[in-house]
């Protein structure tokens, strides 16, 4: 266990900014994709891949590695950006997103992309897969942990709640789930489409240890991960309050950007905004 003084949160904030630039550029180059939910999850993936998880791109099949499952598979650009920055494949490969013969499909494919632990895209299945990985660790006597990111609209799927019962029934304390609670799905506000609320009380009633944090505060995300490691006998749900399209002003809280790529003018505007954000962060944290 680390203490907060050993963690460079400024570095993590800067890395999240870089991931957001990659997300927008690759979706713009592809001409299709899901920017809103990729941007909202960027901070969570940054903390996991660059501070929390025991993973090494030089040994992607290490049996003792931690596992990550992106249950909301349409957020693949965020995962691809994190994997590229971590060193699983060259950053330049990101610009081939959704192109013919590219391994970087619209949803993650574990057979084609190094570092992808589970092929996802059909919503509702990721937590079940994470449970299987966690149970395998128990059977094999391994200490690895399994992390999974769920979409808030995705929790309208019944399989999520079957899996939630399974996690609690088997006391899978090596499972930590993050709910990307940006409040919007493809058809509108989650609460209006088919309300999955209240999240805190529901997950608690299903036998989970539940926390609620600011999903764009890297320190809070890291602290939640640290606390999760101390919980014994039950899985952990971290409800992350996020903003769909975070980091690009005209995308934030706009449901239209769930699954639409920016045109050339919008791409340039978005990249300029994100670039200014990275520069501000670098200037704020530079030392004379």
Query: What is the fold of 4-284?
Result: Rossmann fold (3.40.50)
Here the tokens at position 86 are 């971590």
Low-confidence ranges of the chain (pLDDT < 70): 1, 279-284, 286-288
The predicted structure's pLDDT at residue 278: 75
The predicted structure's pLDDT at residue 286: 62
Q: What is the CA radius of gyration of the chain?
A: 18
The predicted structure's pLDDT at residue 9: 96
Q: What is the dihedral of CA 40, 158, 230, 87, to 10 degrees?
A: -40
The predicted structure's pLDDT at residue 201: 98
Residues sharing a CB contact under 8 Å with residue 198, sequence separation 6 or more, in sequence order: none
pTM of the model: 0.96
What is the SS3 string spanning the chain? CCCHHHCCHHHHHHHHHHHHHHHHHHHHHHCCCCHHHHHHHHHHHHHHHHHHCCCCCCCCCCCCCCEEEECCHHHHHHHHHHHHHHCCCCHHHHHHCCCCCCCCCCCCCCCCCCCCCCCCCCCCCHHHHHHHHHHHHHHHCCCCCEEEEEECHHHHCHHHHHHHHHHHHCCCCCEEEEEEECCEECCEEHHHHHCCCCHHHHHHHCCCEEEEEECCCHHHHHHHHHHHCCCCCCCEEEEEECCCCCCCCCCCCCHHHHCCCCCHHHHHHHHHHHHHHHHHHHHHCCCC
The predicted structure's pLDDT at residue 284: 67
The predicted structure's pLDDT at residue 161: 98
The predicted structure's pLDDT at residue 4: 79
The predicted structure's pLDDT at residue 288: 46
The predicted structure's pLDDT at residue 44: 98
The predicted structure's pLDDT at residue 279: 67
Here the tokens at position 161 are 């709640």
The predicted structure's pLDDT at residue 283: 64
Upstream peptide bond of 280 is cis (omega within 30 degrees of 0): no
Here the tokens at position 32 are 């299709």
CA distance 175 to 263: 39
Name the one residue in this structure whose structure tokens are 């764009």: 216
Let me know if 271 is exposed, middle or buried by CB neighbors in 10 A (0-12, 13-18, 19+): middle
CA distance 47 to 13: 9
């Amino acid at each position: 266990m680390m203490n907060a003084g050993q963690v460079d949160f400024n570095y993590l904030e800067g890395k999240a900014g870089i991931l957001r630039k990659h997300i927008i550029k690759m979706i713009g180059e592809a001409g299709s994709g899901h920017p809103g939910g990729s941007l909202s999850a960027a901070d969570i993936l940054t903390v996991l891949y660059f501070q929390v998880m025991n993973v090494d791109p030089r040994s992607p099949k290490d049996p003792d590695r931690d596992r990550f499952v992106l249950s909301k598979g349409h957020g693949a650009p965020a995962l691809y950006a994190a994997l590229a920055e971590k060193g699983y494949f060259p950053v330049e490969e990101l610009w081939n997103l959704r192109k013919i013969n590219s391994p970087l499909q619209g949803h993650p494919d574990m057979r084609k992309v190094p570092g992808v632990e589970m092929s996802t895209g059909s919503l509702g299945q990721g937590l079940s897969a994470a449970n299987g990985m966690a149970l395998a660790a128990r059977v094999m006597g391994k200490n690895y942990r399994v992390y999974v990111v769920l979409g808030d609209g995705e929790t309208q799927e019944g399989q999520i709640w079957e899996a939630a019962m399974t996690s609690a029934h088997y006391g899978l304390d090596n499972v930590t789930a993050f709910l990307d609670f940006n409040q919007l799905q493809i058809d509108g506000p989650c609460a209006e489409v088919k309300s999955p609320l209240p999240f805190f009380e529901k997950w608690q009633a299903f036998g989970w240890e539940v926390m609620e944090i600011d999903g764009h505060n890297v320190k809070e995300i890291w602290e939640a991960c640290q606390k999760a490691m101390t919980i014994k006998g039950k899985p952990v749900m971290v409800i992350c309050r996020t903003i769909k399209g975070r980091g690009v002003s005209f995308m934030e809280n706009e449901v239209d950007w769930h699954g639409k790529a920016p045109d050339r003018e919008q791409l340039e505007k978005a990249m300029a905004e994100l670039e200014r954000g990275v520069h501000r962060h670098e200037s704020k944290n530079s030392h004379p």
